[in-house]
Copies of this chain bind each other. A is one copy, B any other.
Amino acid sequence: MNVQEKVFIYDTTLRDGAQAEGVTFSPVAKIHVAKMLDSFGVDYIEGGFAASNPKDMAFFKDIKKENLKHAKVAAFGSTRRAGVDVAEDKGTLALLEAGTEVCTIFGKTWLLHVTEVLKTTAGENLAMIEDTCRFLKQNGKEVVYDAEHFFDGYKDSPEYALQTLEAAVKGGADVLVLCDTNGGSLPHEVFEITTAIREQFDVAVGIHTHNDSETAVANAMESVRAGATQVQGVINGFGERCGNCNLVSVAANILLKTGKTCLADPGKLKNLKQVSQFVNEQANLRDNQRAAFVGDSAFAHKAGMHVDGVRKVSQSFEHVPPESVGNGRRILISELSGASNVMEKLIEMGLDNIDRKSPEVREILQTMEKMEREGYVYEAADASFKMLIKKVLKEHKSFFELEGFRVIVEKRGKNEPCLSEATLKLKVNGEKAFTVGDGDGPVDALNMALRRALHEFYPSIDGVHLADYRVSILDPEEATAAKTRVHIESSDGETSWGTVGVSENIIEASWEALVDGVEYKLFLNEEDVG
């Protein structure tokens, strides 16, 4: 048996991905993403710019404490400035200061850039490339050389483009990465040019593509077919302009469709959807419903014929098994599949004595559809969905009654703090529980008042904290009068559960999700409480 050729995955979500419009990672999010990428099994994590950005420098320091299992961390920078000794070049020194195992530097391939943007000479540019690679190698770094605008430069002057790579090789670069910086190349060009480079250099070749022609993934795949052994890209493919090569699709295509391999453990491909969702969440982006492999629609079958086909032979309308990428098949607009989902929940709740064709199951489905039309989404709000089932089955018990709440937000002058106060009136087991809460904002104040009100009746609530709070505006064009969906994740330290609330009033939507979150916990504990 042949050993499979390995393709190294170089992730630049935290650097090139962070250049996407609308994407900024908080320092905490950067660490979260890096740890997740490491456990997913990527080979390189480019953490940011070494020079320009104190936040990135802090990341390089912090990530060392995390003891990543597999991935090497790379700091990103450029060749030294023109006319400056490399040992005194600020940017190059910052690369060393980052203290990473790998340094990635980009240099100019395209003469247009050398003369018009850098305003230097063809010869000095070659010296800049060679000097910087050599200096970093002498300082013990693994050096990734990103040949910026490689394809445009090669098309303009193949001779000069090759000279820039030769300079990098002379300087000791470990890998030559061909960058389609402007994203303008088509797959056959990438294949041909990668092939030509592979024939002329013994050093490993990598590929870095952008999606401006909507061919970034194809371009990377064609480069890999031509022998590139490193793919640079971003989880979910966001990045400057139209985005970078999407590593989600690249990893799946390599592992499922070529004889090659990637990732520290290829078995981790089954976490692909989870990885994709995690990164979107940290980047504060919505999941793309139609994303290849991992989108909610990727294995959803709508047309009657397809549904019929897929039932008969799954591969008839599925290019790969959905479970191979952590996704699942969905049958749309089909009473049957709906009933299956409800049955699954009923079984989870120990209510397996209900028949799938019973009026109860039908009523649950109808109620769910009605709620979904109003904006509720239950996929991440399992607890709210189970509460809905209990309500339909008339098994829902209120642990308390709302008599009213009032939330006040007050600001007494331009430079005064903004104060939030909530008063809450509940009736619990026939007794009045009237409380006041304050907090950082109106929802925080209301949450505080709720906890205070329940404390003496249900002490188990003390151990529950809110782990996540998210807000979606459902019809943004309605502006501040739009419907709001609030998603809350509660946790008692051992397990966590999601709830959802919808209202034109964000406070009311939050209240709904807060109440579901607390009641769900009380249901779970009912024996202790009774």
- Nearest 4 Cβ contacts at the A-B interface: A184-B319, A218-B218, A466-B479, A440-B504
Task: Tell me whether A480 and B469 are in contact in the complex, defined as CB-CB below 8 angstroms, given that A22-B289, A309-B117 are known contacts.
Answer: yes
B52 near A336: Cβ-Cβ < 8 Å? yes
Q: How far is B48's CA from A3's CA once the two chains are assembled, in angstroms?
A: 49
Q: How far is B511's CA from A411's CA once the two chains are assembled, in angstroms?
A: 10
Q: A395-426 interface mask toward B, CB cutoff 8 Å, 1 = contact, 0 = none?
A: 00000011111111111111010101000000
**A284 beta carbon closer than 8 Å to chain B:** yes
**A334 beta carbon closer than 8 Å to chain B:** yes
Q: A55-B373, A186-B218 are in contact. List 9 more A-B contacts (CB 8 A).
A: A24-B334, A182-B319, A186-B257, A213-B217, A218-B219, A242-B295, A407-B409, A420-B505, A441-B481
Task: Tell me whether A241 and B298 are in contact in the complex, defined as CB-CB below 8 angstroms, given that A335-B53, A468-B477 are known contacts.
Answer: yes
B242 near A507: Cβ-Cβ < 8 Å? no
Copies in the complex: 2
**A140 beta carbon closer than 8 Å to chain B:** no
**A31 beta carbon closer than 8 Å to chain B:** no
Q: In the complex, identify which listed stretch (A120-128, A259-267, A300-308) lies at the interface while the others stay far away.
A: A300-308
Q: A44-74 interface mask toward B, CB cutoff 8 Å, 1 = contact, 0 = none?
A: 0000010011010000000000000000000
The residue from B19, B289, B297, B409 contacting A302, defined by CB atoms under 8 A apart: B19
Task: Tell me whether A257 and B468 are in contact in the complex, defined as CB-CB below 8 angstroms, given that A240-B302, A302-B19, A480-B443 are known contacts.
Answer: no
**A444 beta carbon closer than 8 Å to chain B:** yes
Q: How far is B225's CA from A49's CA once the two chains are assembled, in angstroms?
A: 39
Q: How far is B18's CA from A253's CA once the two chains are assembled, in angstroms?
A: 27
Task: Tell me whether A292 and B242 are in contact in the complex, defined as CB-CB below 8 angstroms, given that A221-B215, A257-B184, A472-B284 are known contacts.
Answer: yes
Contacts of A404 in B (CB 8 A): 410-413, 416
